[in-house]
Structure 1
Amino acid sequence: MFLLVGLGNPGAKYAKNRHNIGFMAVDEIARHYNFGAERSRLQGLAREGVIETEAGPQKIILVKPQTFMNESGRCVGGFMTFHKIPIAKVIVYYDEVELTPGRCRIKVGGGTAGHNGLRSIVSQSGAGFKRVRLGVGHPGREKMLSHVLDDFSSSEFTWVDTLCDAVARTTPLILEDKHDAFQTKVSTLAPPPPVPAWLRGGSGDAS
């Protein structure tokens, strides 16, 4: 069994924020693979389903923590403990300011780079989970908080929707540990848009 976690903040106020692209990604995974109805459990909203891979069907729990971003680890840890899911089978989807908008990279373990959701999960459960980093761009340190808590614009949702669809379609590759293939396929299905002038020079793409 795998635990797929989208990071964000609960409530309509935050639904379209850049900080909530993790929620958007797992919602699209649930839609694409016809997961069951969403239920409130263990401080999160969860859905269950099965995704077919070359190794066979894999049972999946998708969860969106409802604890607010900086307490995400309490929800994630609760699901890991209840379902006996090891850290190696936890995949977290979140907004990454160090990637330009529309870029997607995956890594395993590492630091938190100041991301409060990641920091909370690491403090509760350790750092060895997979991370799907969804680029939202870096506007400069002084504008960081307002940037991630602002809504995507209507024009940005063109690439956001395409990226989330690509991430959903390629989920089996992550489950099979085919990380390079996942990144390549996502980039093919969802080519990143041109970098806005106001972000040029402000965002790195280091993997």
Structure 2
Amino acid sequence: MLKLLVGLGNPGPEYAQTRHNAGFWWIDALAARHGARLAPEKGYFGLVGKAQVAGQPLWLLEPMTFMNRSGQAVAALARFYRIEPEQILVVHDELDLLPGDVRLKQGGSHAGHNGLKDIQAQLGSAAFWRLRIGIGHPGVKSEVINWVLRKPPADERAAIDAACDRSQQVLEHLVAGEWEAAKRGLHAPAA
């Protein structure tokens, strides 16, 4: 059962609309959908809120450290509230998926994603769940940093927003730990 939902991104207006902030977009949409309010919490190095989903209270977190220090916020909140890695869902941008694609998985490699890398290091575990929001790949490795820190064109942003919406429709399954049902709903071809 999930207890903490984390969206990854970089703080500041200059990054707000960039692909790397897809995790923040997801949390913002979820907070709006469930009437939750995110507020700065210095002790957790981020914006923190609480939502009720399927009768379960869930912590929401957007780390306000930069991406490569995301684990500082996640670990601080998880330790204080005794939340195990398996009870955490981290939502992040994914280069290896096209805009509009979304995938759920548990554990595995950080695949070079600095936010995931730091969360694994700070938690001492890779067993947390990941919701991977596709942002596409520039096609050339040397362009990746510029790609993730750039605003997507309107059609790609619409596809990313649609993926966020689709993934939130299976949130009740996620909260209940019904992973296979959630995956069936997420991994079905987009209509």
TM-score, normalised via structure 2 length = 0.91
* Corresponding residue for residue 19 of structure 2: 18
Mapped to 1, the partners of 2:148 and 2:35 lie a distance apart of: 29
Q: Percent identity?
A: 35
Q: State the Cα RMSD in Å.
A: 1.6
- The answer to whether 1:47 aligns with 2:49 is yes
Give the conservation status (yes or no) of the 8 Å contact 1:29–1:169: no
* Corresponding residue for residue 132 of structure 1: 131
Q: Select which of 95, 98, 104 maps to 1:97.
A: 95
* Corresponding residue for residue 167 of structure 2: 167
Mapped to 1, the partners of 2:22 and 2:183 lie a distance apart of: 17
Give the conservation status (yes or no) of the 8 Å contact 2:22–2:93: yes
Mapped to 1, the partners of 2:107 and 2:160 lie a distance apart of: 25
What are the superposed Cα offsets for residues 89-135 of structure 1, whole Å, 9 maximum, x if unpaired? Answer: 11000011111221111111111000000000000001110000111
What secondary structure sits across from 2:162 in the alignment? helix
* Corresponding residue for residue 185 of structure 1: 185
* Corresponding residue for residue 176 of structure 2: 176
Give the conservation status (yes or no) of the 8 Å contact 1:25–1:167: no
CA drift at 1:3:
0.7
* Corresponding residue for residue 38 of structure 2: 38
* Corresponding residue for residue 9 of structure 2: 8
CA drift at 1:183:
3.2
Amino acid at match of 2:47: L
What secondary structure sits across from 1:24 in the alignment? helix
Mapped to 2, the partners of 1:155 and 1:110 lie a distance apart of: 30
CA drift at 1:182:
2.0
- Give the count of matched residue pairs: 186
CA drift at 1:187:
4.9
- The answer to whether 1:111 aligns with 2:76 is no
Higher mean C-alpha deviation, range 127-136 or range 25-34: 25-34
Give the conservation status (yes or no) of the 8 Å contact 1:51–1:172: yes
What secondary structure sits across from 2:14 in the alignment? helix
Give the conservation status (yes or no) of the 8 Å contact 1:92–1:132: yes
What secondary structure sits across from 1:162 in the alignment? helix
Name stretches of at least 5 consecutive residues in structure 1 with no aligned partner.
193-207
Give the conservation status (yes or no) of the 8 Å contact 2:133–2:164: no
Give the conservation status (yes or no) of the 8 Å contact 2:53–2:175: no
Mapped to 1, the partners of 2:169 and 2:33 lie a distance apart of: 7
CA drift at 1:34:
1.6
What secondary structure sits across from 1:155 in the alignment? helix
* Corresponding residue for residue 150 of structure 1: 150
Mapped to 1, the partners of 2:32 and 2:166 lie a distance apart of: 13
* Corresponding residue for residue 205 of structure 1: none
Amino acid at match of 2:105: K
What secondary structure sits across from 1:61 in the alignment? strand
